[in-house]
């Protein structure tokens, strides 16, 4: 496999420079899905080896990994060298001057990270809490005001909105089962039997050397020191159980507080929607201020006029300018500030070499078009200038054509 993953412990020399890199003994398991996507599961809160490092080889040897976040921003990984000169890629964040180290993004973050390895390979890293202990869990509960409970036990796509999900019910049932088991242990706890010396009546005396010494000092006494058995529940098993009970108690209280807040929010929202529904049912007609529509129409008119009167490139002579007529469609997600387009002069003909056409407009014009395109999905533009056409390929292997600097 061209991707090798390990946990790393890094001591930093300076920004982007590692003094010492220690590699974990066992690698992180990387699996290949039927579609070809790579998957790896890592544990957060690894204090002794908090970094996730990738070593690429084969066809990926010259690839620099990037993380694609929820806003489709591409965050490049940092390359560090271990003691043997081996290269490792890590998802480093910015340099922390007070701590004099980079911070590991996957050390305290739940979730799934999408890592692109060039144009044709992807690695999905699932960061989970395999080694989350009581102290770490309490830190998270304190930091996030109990909301992390819902995030951790719910689905990533709807943790905040699934208050009645199967995950939360499973947690409550598990806590209930644990409470019953703890009750049975409490009824018959484990005990440690030890032999101690106490004053014992003469009729039940189990003598020891201390007994004979006391009898010599006080002959005929009613009680002498003797050997007795003492039972104590303070054993490691019971201390561990007591800690688990305390942890579950805090977790149950956190779930209860969070459930109470969700219940209150949902009740308040239901009351508002019920009142609004009653008002709508009782309403026959409503008066609308025409000024609202006048302002909207005026804004739309200003945008359309600004697009129609957009000047050409003043640096070009009249002979160097060319008129481009095309219609624009929706926004192209694969690039920033780019739109789909279709040439008007093609008369419906399509170049079979390209599956899509995108255009990069000047920022000011792009903002005008983006604010108007929802009114007309086939908005036609007529611009004068000089365009540069280039070919590109999408991550899915489709061929595309990009037009830039259509005007300035």
Spans of all domains in the chain? 3-132, 133-167+233-281, 192-232, 304-404
Average pLDDT over residues 142-147: 50
Backbone angles phi, psi at 234, to 5 degrees: -80, 75
* pLDDT for the residue numbered 55: 92
Instruction: Return the H-helix or E-strand segment holding 141.
Output: helix 134-143
Q: Which tops the pLDDT comparison, 163 or 211?
A: 211
Asked if the model's pLDDT at residue 54 lies above 90, the reply is: yes
pLDDT at position 88 is 92
In whole angstroms, give the CA distance from residue 132 to residue 272: 40
The three-class DSSP label of residue 134 is helix
- Quickly count: other Cβ atoms within 10 Å of residue 42's Cβ: 18
Q: Cα–Cα distance between 16 and 92 in angstroms, integer?
A: 9
Task: Return the structure tokens found at 291.
Answer: 């000024």
Calculate mean pLDDT across residues 86-90: 90
Closest CA to 3 of 27, 22, 19: 27
What pLDDT digit, counting tens, does each position of 325-371 carry? 888 888 887 777 888 888 876 665 667 788 888 888 888 888 888 87
Q: Could you give the CA distance from residue 336 to residue 332 in angstroms, rounded to a whole number? A: 8
Predicted local confidence at residue 327, as pLDDT: 85
- List the structure tokens of 381: 């533009």
Whether the predicted pLDDT of 109 surpasses 70: no
DSSP string, 276-306: HHHHHHH-S-----HHHHHHHHHHHHHHHHH
Residue 348 zone, left/alpha/beta (φ > 0; ψ -120 to 50; rest) = left
User: What six digits make up the tokens of 96?
Assistant: 């922390």
Q: Which of 54, 67, 51 has its CA nearest to residue 112?
A: 67
| Angstrom distance (rounded) from CA 117 to CA 123 | 7
Alpha-carbon gap, residue 338 to 334, rounded angstroms? 8
CA R_g for the chain: 36
Closest CA to 315 of 364, 385, 375, 393: 385
User: Which of 292-306, 345-359, 383-397 reaches the highest mean pLDDT?
Assistant: 383-397
Kindly tell me if the per-residue pLDDT of 144 is higher than 70: no
Range 378-404 average pLDDT: 84
Which residues fall within 8 angstroms of residue 345, CB to CB, at 6 or more apart? 325
Greatest pairwise CA separation for the chain in angstroms: 133
Instruction: Give the model's confidence band at 66: pLDDT under 50 very low, under 70 low, under 90 confident, else very high.
Output: very high
pLDDT at 291: 72
> For the chain, what percent of residues have pLDDT higher than 70?
81
Dist. CA 146–CA 116, nearest whole Å: 33
In the predicted model, what is the mean pLDDT of the chain? 78
- Give Cβ neighbours of residue 395 (< 8 Å, ≥ 6 apart): 116, 119, 120, 334
pTM for the whole structure: 0.37
Residue 148: predicted pLDDT: 47
Q: What pLDDT, on a 0 to 100 scale, did the predictor assign at position 159?
A: 34
Q: pLDDT, tens digit, for every residue of 206-252?
A: 888 888 888 888 888 888 888 888 777 777 777 777 778 888 888 78
Residue of 11, 1, 84, 13 whose CA lies nearest to 39: 1
The residue that leads in pLDDT, 399 or 170, is 399
Q: Is 186 helix (H, G, I), strand (E, B) or coil?
A: helix
Tokens of 133: 């202990």
Read off the tokens for 100: 């004099």
Query: 133: pLDDT confidence band, cut at 50, 70 and 90?
Result: low
- Going from the C-alpha of 94 to that of each of 109, 241, 287, the distances in angstroms are 16, 42, 55
Q: Quick one: pLDDT band at residue 141, thresholds 50, 70, 90? A: low
- Number of other CB atoms surrounding residue 167 within 10 Å: 15
């Amino acid at each position: 496999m061209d991707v090798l993953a390990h946990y790393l412990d890094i001591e930093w020399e300076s920004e982007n420079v590692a003094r010492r890199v220690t590699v974990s003994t066992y690698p992180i398991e990387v699996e290949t899905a039927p579609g070809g996507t790579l998957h790896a599961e890592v544990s957060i809160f690894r204090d002794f080896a908090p970094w996730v490092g990738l070593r690429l080889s084969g066809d990926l040897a010259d690839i620099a990994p990037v993380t694609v976040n929820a806003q489709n921003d591409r965050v490049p990984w940092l390359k560090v060298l271990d003691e043997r000169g081996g290269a490792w890629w890590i998802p480093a964040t910015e340099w922390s001057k007070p701590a004099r180290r980079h911070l590991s993004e996957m050390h305290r973050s739940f979730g799934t990270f999408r890592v692109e390895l060039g144009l044709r390979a992807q690695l999905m890293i699932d960061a989970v809490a395999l080694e989350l202990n009581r102290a770490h869990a309490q830190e998270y509960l304190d930091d996030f005001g109990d909301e992390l409970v819902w995030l951790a036990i719910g689905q990533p796509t709807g943790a905040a909105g699934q208050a009645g999900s199967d995950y939360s019910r499973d947690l409550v049932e598990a806590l209930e089962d644990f409470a019953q088991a703890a009750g049975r242990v409490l009824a018959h706890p484990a005990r440690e039997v030890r032999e101690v010396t106490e004053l014992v009546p003469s009729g039940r005396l189990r003598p020891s050397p201390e007994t004979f010494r006391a009898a010599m000092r006080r002959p005929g006494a009613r009680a002498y020191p003797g050997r007795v058995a003492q039972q104590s529940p303070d054993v490691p098993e019971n201390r561990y159980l007591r800690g688990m009970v305390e942890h579950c108690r805090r977790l149950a209280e956190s779930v209860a507080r969070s459930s109470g807040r969700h219940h209150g929010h949902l009740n308040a929202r239901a009351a508002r929607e019920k009142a609004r529904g009653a008002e709508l049912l009782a309403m026959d007609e409503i008066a609308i201020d025409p000024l609202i529509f006048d302002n909207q129409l005026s804004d739309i008119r200003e945008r359309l006029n600004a697009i129609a009167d957009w000047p050409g490139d003043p640096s070009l002579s009249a002979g160097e300018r060319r008129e481009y007529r095309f219609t624009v469609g929706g926004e192209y997600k694969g690039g920033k500030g780019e739109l789909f387009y279709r040439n008007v002069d093609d008369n419906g003909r399509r170049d079979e070499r390209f599956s899509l056409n995108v255009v990069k407009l000047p920022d000011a014009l792009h903002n005008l078009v983006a604010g108007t395109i929802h009114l007309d999905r086939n908005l036609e533009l007529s611009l004068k200038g000089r365009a540069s056409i280039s070919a590109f390929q999408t991550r899915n292997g489709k061929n595309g054509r990009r037009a830039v600097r259509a005007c300035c």
